[in-house]
Chains A and B, each alone.
Chain A
């Protein structure tokens, strides 16, 4: 169950990164920056058999910075930094006596930071761009906090992933649109299972590209090659979580470069993952415009 939180952080990355992400690299000296609030609360989860079970209502709230910056036309540096992360679970109150029988708890800290480097495998301006991204996941968050040792704002392990993105832009009538897809392998330490990640999204820019609507489908499949200890020890996250999720995002340019966005994502199948939607709102600055 602790892997839920891993997935939530992964979802955060997807949600934050995808609008500016895909196979497209930033031009040299150009960037995309986003400040967002992402949250999820859940009172049930998918179990290891993929069925739904209840749990104490828990929540995670991340205030994150996401930035892409073009080091060259084909080489982009990416930073995802949850500057403030709050993890909590509710009080358990007796329905018979009204007494609080198990008090809730919360912890606040910085979350796990991801540093990525994206390289354009095709020349800038290619009709079908392809890129490769190396992501280093740094365990800057905290784990094992609270009376039950389950409050955490990070996964407690270094991980590194390689991801290939491909996509293309096209028009639907006079409307600009794009499609992109990705697949990647996430190598995790501390006995965690490796993961295969995949996904895709389509987006369309309406009203002279002031409003972008984006639909996503993402998934994670576990190689189930982690150690037994990684599932039983509460001081580190369990692993072997899997899911397929869908999501929608709307991004609106208030000015030429500055805008606001809102999104949600939810898993419609999973193992060891929350059965609740996540939400995000944010402001962004797109210097490529």
Chain B
């Protein structure tokens, strides 16, 4: 009897299990983005272009990119992204980063004119479930008065069965690691809005919904 109880105690200790590892396939292609995208800059002036680089897990990382202009007689840009507008016209700015494992670039066209024109950028997308839980709806993202405005459309609906549905902005839809947590979802149907300070419209590629308590991905939407 005593031996059996001892054996049972050992079995009990064995089964008071240790925390193990779940491997998450979280690879994404590294990307670089130009985060300041004016429509027009003033001829004869300088303008600082900025960028953001996200590595193979979507984490922002400091690198030294290469800046270039499609026509240096119109606009010159140094390797810090500082551009000098020389002559009126249109030119393509490119930022690129190349290493042994990475080759990524982004370009956009900017005009050189009499006045600085910073056109409010608006993007949009569609949220779709990637799970068995209901999640759908359209959204628009814009920058207004230094705030990022995410407007979820009237056709949005989300399951109320999850104990903790959270919404994020991310560059890696496989994980909430390195994502920006907007907050807990409090509206499960219909139109609503999130206002975020200090985040640029070009910083994240996706809106992401996760059941935070159980680390379960529920859905996402690409920001286009």
Q: Which residues of A are at the interface with B, using a C-beta cutoff of 8 A?
A: 1-2, 35, 37, 39, 41, 43, 47-49, 51-59, 61, 63, 84, 86, 88-97, 100-102, 104-106, 108, 148-150, 228, 231-234, 238, 240, 254, 258, 260, 272, 281-283
Interface of A, helix, strand, loop or mixed by DSSP: strand
Q: State in angstroms the CA–CA spacing of A186 and B48 once bound together.
A: 67
11 A-B residue pairings within 8 Å (CB atoms): A35-B5, A37-B12, A41-B17, A47-B132, A53-B131, A59-B17, A63-B16, A93-B23, A93-B24, A150-B214, A234-B213
Q: State in angstroms the CA–CA spacing of A5 and B23 once bound together.
A: 24
CB distance from B31 to the nearest CB of A (A): 15
Contact with A along B8-30 (1 / 0, CB 8 A): 10011001110111111111000
Given contacts A53-B216, A150-B213, A231-B162, 8 further A-B contacts (CB under 8 A): A43-B22, A49-B132, A63-B12, A93-B21, A94-B57, A108-B16, A148-B213, A283-B5
Chain B residue with the shortest CB-CB distance to A63: B12
| Residue B161 CB within 8 A of the other chain | yes
Nearest 3 pairs between A and B by C-beta? A104-B19, A51-B132, A48-B161
Chain B residue with the shortest CB-CB distance to A52: B132
Q: Is the CB of B11 within 8 A of A96?
A: no
Q: Is the CB of B211 within 8 A of A97?
A: no
Residue among B15, B22, B133, B176 having the largest count of chain A Cβ atoms under 10 Å? B22
Residues of B in contact with A, size category: 35 or more
Interface of B, helix, strand, loop or mixed by DSSP: loop
Chain A residues within 8 Å of B5, by CB:
35, 283
Q: State in angstroms the CA–CA spacing of A149 and B19 once bound together.
A: 17
CB distance from A49 to the nearest CB of B (A): 5
Given A96-B56, A283-B4, A283-B8, A61–B22 Cβ distance below 8 Å? Answer: no
Q: Choose from A35, A96, A238, A272 the contact partner of B8 (Cβ within 8 Å).
A: A35
Chain B residues within 8 Å of A1, by CB:
161-163, 211, 213-214, 216
